[in-house]
Amino acid sequence: MVTGSIDFAAMNYGLLGIPEHDLRYDMADEYMAAVNALLDSWKPGAILADTDSGVLVDRTKVYAVNFEGRWCKTRGPLNSGPCVQGLPVIAQAGASARGQRFAAQHTDTIVASVKGAAGMRAYRDDVRAHAIAAGRNPDDIKVLFTMVPELGDTMEEATLRHRHRLARAEAQVPNLLAHIGKITNIDFG
């Protein structure tokens, strides 16, 4: 679940540009309410797939969802049956405090880029506290940290590989700035 960061992507949805950071999360909260209502529109046992009678669906177990919010609205039940596993896994990368609150309320897993064991522990503790505040079991949210280990047979070899990786990255600064410019709408030229 990504709230976006590019004006051109927002324009594909009829917006003039990307909404302000925290407003995007407010919109995502509403979107998740609509999606969850749609996912819940098929009750267990709704799909009969009875070849003898020719009945695929028990229509008494499929409910219309006419969600209407400030930013989105739906009509009818989900247009496909339920997921075999029940619900899809919702993943999100919430670096900001608002992103962490969103993830703690709605997601199954959150991906973060935090340096050091102490920073990772503090981040995880924040997400767990937000989950408890949202009325969720914090153990239901898995926090995954990105990392780039530098490996070698010796510490010297690992250090040399690290230096080479930094040198390659430095040579790519113009490309990296172009990429960051694309996702932030800032021209670093």
Query: In the 8-state DSSP scheme, what is residue 62?
Result: B
Q: How far is CA 189 from CA 154, 156, 179, 180, in A?
A: 41, 37, 11, 11
pTM of the model: 0.77
Helix count and strand count (H, E) for the chain: 6, 5
Beta-ladder partners of 50: 55
CA 181 to the chain's CA centroid: 22
- Tens of pLDDT, residue by residue over 112-131, are 999 899 999 999 999 999 99
Helix (H, G, I), strand (E, B) or coil at 92: strand
Residues in the chain: 189
pLDDT digits (tens, 9 = 90+) for 32-55: 999 999 999 999 999 999 999 999
Percent with pLDDT over 90 in the chain: 74
What is the pLDDT at residue 69?
96
Backbone φ and ψ of 123, nearest 5° = -60, -50
Q: CA 107, 108, 112: angle at the middle one, nearest 5?
A: 80
